[in-house]
Amino acid sequence: MPHSHKTFYRIAGVAALLAVFVFRRNLGAELSLLGSLGVIKGVPAAIPGQAAEWFNLFQANRLVGMTLFGVFDLVEYLLVGVMFLAVYAALRRANPGVMLLATALGLIGITVYFSSNQAFGMLALSQKYTLAERDTRRLVFEAAGEALLAQENPGGIHQGTGIYASLFLVLLSGLIISVVMLRSDIFSKATAITGILANGIGMFYFIGIAFDLAIYWIGHPISAPFRVIWYSLIALRLFSLSSHQ
């Protein structure tokens, strides 16, 4: 195996492990716990739903606000993108056409999320809102904030089209990749099955939204442990591939 391939597998293995630790749903839970213990100040009891509430949160604790608004999802998706590319390199001979399609879907989904995430936009508006000297100016910035929340609102039930599209494409990509893993001997059956569970259960979110089910959210917490395990197993295999002669 060329040295460049080994290096890339090693880098992607590190990326997959880091993706486990910056998985935002884990960070959100940890923030809530640390906030309840008084370790971190400014953690709200519930995620804000209106622009003014977000602006106040950003000013009280910028890191908490950015975390809850999904800034670490940008890091997460970037790391997952590197992992997808390495998995494609490992599995491209097993099923070239399907792996190319799956990887393309995943990378498109990641690109869509980068264009849809409004964390930095809300931060900029919060600073302008705080510096505004007149209530009329503040109302203008609140209106702009509400427009951004229409595209992405972590505190709302329904998200913008870009957020839905990115999540769906990344989950579909992961599901297809996991099926290819199951049919090849490059990755273990445990890795493949875990990936099918992580991405397949995650797709329940869209079924719940489509049929307006009260438990639409349940797919995320159930799939999260499987996703953490899937990333970890992929990382271990990539490290193993990087050590092959």
DSSP 8-64: HHHHHHHHHHHHHHT-HHHHHHHHHHHHHTTSSTT--SS---SHHHHHHHHHH-HHH
* pLDDT confidence of residue 216: 61
Q: Residue 115 pLDDT more than 50?
A: yes
Q: Please, what is the Cα angle at 180 between 111 and 226, to 5 degrees?
A: 70
pLDDT (average), residues 132-147: 88
Condensed to tens digits (0 to 9), the pLDDT of residues 173-231 reads 999 999 999 999 999 999 999 999 999 998 887 877 766 666 666 767 788 889 999 99
> How far is C-alpha 90 from the geometric centre of its chain's CA atoms?
23
* Alpha carbon distance 26, 29 (integer Å): 5
- 214 burial (CB, 10 Å; 0-12 / 13-18 / 19+) is exposed
Condensed to tens digits (0 to 9), the pLDDT of residues 77-95 reads 999 999 999 999 999 999 9
Q: Residue 4 pLDDT more than 50?
A: yes
Question: Which value, in Å, is the radius of gyration of the alpha carbons in the chain?
Answer: 20
pLDDT (average), residues 15-32: 70
* pLDDT confidence of residue 39: 46
Phi, psi of 140 (to 5 degrees): -65, -45
* Alpha carbon distance 102, 172 (integer Å): 8
* pLDDT confidence of residue 164: 86
Residue 33 vs residues 30, 70, 71, 128, 191: alpha-carbon distances, Å? 5, 18, 19, 31, 31
Nearest to 50 by CA among 167, 184, 183, 148: 148
